[in-house]
Amino acid sequence: MGFLDRLFGKTTTEETVNMTKTAIVYYSMGGTNYQLAQWAAEAAKEAGSEVKVIKAPETAPQAAIDSNPVWRAHVEATKDVPVATPEDLAWADAIIFSVPTRFGNMPGQMKNFFDTTGGLWAQGKLANKAVSAMSSAQNPHGGQEATILSLYTTMYHWGAIVAAPGYTDAVAFAAGGNPYGTSVTVGQDGKMADDEAAIKAAVHHQAKRTVQVAEALKNLNA
């Protein structure tokens, strides 16, 4: 490939085939986790990965969505985001999840999506993927950590490799220091109550690390 092609970001077919593939699967009612997913996508692309941002299938009735103007506006604003399918998970080498807490657990929408992955699991197609998760809650101790761990429980059953950020970079400390995955507190107004730049930096680090772990696992999956 020539210098100009590289300069303009063109990739050869061979490079595209070898690129690490990252699926960023989120659920959001008010937009916070969609934002975390967008930040993760930026960083995964910077890390040289092919990226899909996809949303967990909605299970709530339309009447419930319509009864909440914030929720309805978010659904409308993200109507073009593709809905996640089990095949997207099989496609990915790295998977990053982002969900709001629901009483310390993942939302039913994400759990429902996980419950459609039995066929892939039975074929071993979810094993050895690098995964990590992010979360949000309305209170500083409202269940962020427990929610991320609830996601990881399913990951262990898949045989995925949890690439939690731990304290592998100092950016974690400014973002609240959650070693399980980046998390944020959301005020009653729906806005992030933490330092957004610090959260963004922690999400970037987490996403890059998840992609790097997926790259390191390629031999295992060859």
| Residues of the shown chain interacting with ligand FMN in the complex, contacts defined by CB under 6 A | 28-33, 100-104, 136-139, 142-143, 186
Answer yes or no: are the C-beta atoms of 93 and 221 closer than 8 Å. Answer: yes
Find the angle CA(180)-CA(185)-CA(186) to the nearest 5 degrees: 140
- Closer residue to ligand FMN (CB): 20 or 132: 132
Answer yes or no: are the C-beta atoms of 183 and 165 closer than 8 Å. Answer: no
Instruction: In whole angstroms, give the CA distance from residue 5 to residue 124.
Output: 38
Q: Shortest distance, CB of residue 37 to ligand FMN, whole angstroms?
A: 9
Output the CA–CA distances (angstroms, integers) from residue 197 to 27, 134, 207, in the order listed. Answer: 22, 16, 15
Q: Shortest distance, CB of residue 126 to ligand FMN, whole angstroms?
A: 25
Question: How many other C-beta atoms are found inside a 10 Å radius of the C-beta of residue 55?
Answer: 23
Q: Shortest distance, CB of residue 147 to ligand FMN, whole angstroms?
A: 8
- Closer residue to ligand FMN (CB): 104 or 176: 104
- Closer residue to ligand FMN (CB): 169 or 195: 195
Q: Shortest distance, CB of residue 91 to ligand FMN, whole angstroms?
A: 24
- Closer residue to ligand FMN (CB): 28 or 49: 28
Residue of minimal Cβ distance to ligand FMN: 142
